[in-house]
């Protein structure tokens, strides 16, 4: 599997943006392993910053984990919504090109 990075500062709050990402083996731009294709993802990202009063999170069911944000993270945090619309030429440890079910797979991460 490959990787790529989209800095959160490149996202406008509450605005959905589409990206086509060429996946890399490493984040080193001079690494010759990046010359080989490691797949491609078509995704949509939406960053939703927390507003005043949004900080109350119900953790009574034990499914939510609240951790301290990394140093330098903007105050307030937010939610990152990721919709994967297409994945091509992916290779995994156990599967090659597993299908995406439905129109998209949606993941959300709390950024705090």
What residues make up the domain containing 102?
Answer: 8-57+64-111
| pLDDT of res. 108 | 47
| pLDDT of res. 111 | 46
Q: Which residues contact 23 (CB under 8 A, 6 or more apart)?
A: 1, 2, 3, 4, 37, 38, 39, 40, 41, 90
- Of 59, 83, 76, the closest CA to residue 111 belongs to 76
pLDDT by 10-residue block (mean), the chain, 112 residues: 84 93 86 85 90 60 60 72 86 58 45 43
The answer to the question of residue 2 being in a domain is no
The answer to the question of residue 96 being in a domain is yes
With residues binned 3-state (H G I as helix, E B as strand, rest as coil), the percentages for the chain, rounded to 5, are: 5, 35, 60
The answer to the question of residue 107 being in a domain is yes
The answer to the question of residue 1 being in a domain is no
Question: Model's pTM, two decimal places?
Answer: 0.61
| pLDDT of res. 9 | 83
């Amino acid at each position: 599997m490959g990787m790529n990075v989209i800095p959160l500062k490149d996202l406008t709050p509450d605005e959905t943006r589409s990206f086509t990402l060429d996946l890399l083996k490493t984040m080193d731009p001079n690494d010759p392993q990046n010359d080989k294709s490691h797949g491609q993802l078509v995704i949509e990202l939406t960053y939703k910053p927390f507003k005043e009063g949004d900080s109350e999170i119900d953790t009574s069911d034990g499914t939510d984990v609240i951790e301290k944000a990394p140093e330098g993270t903007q105050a307030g945090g937010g939610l990152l919504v990721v919709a994967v619309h297409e994945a091509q030429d992916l290779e995994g440890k156990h599967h090659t090109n597993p299908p995406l079910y439905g129109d998209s797979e949606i993941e959300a991460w709390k950024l705090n």
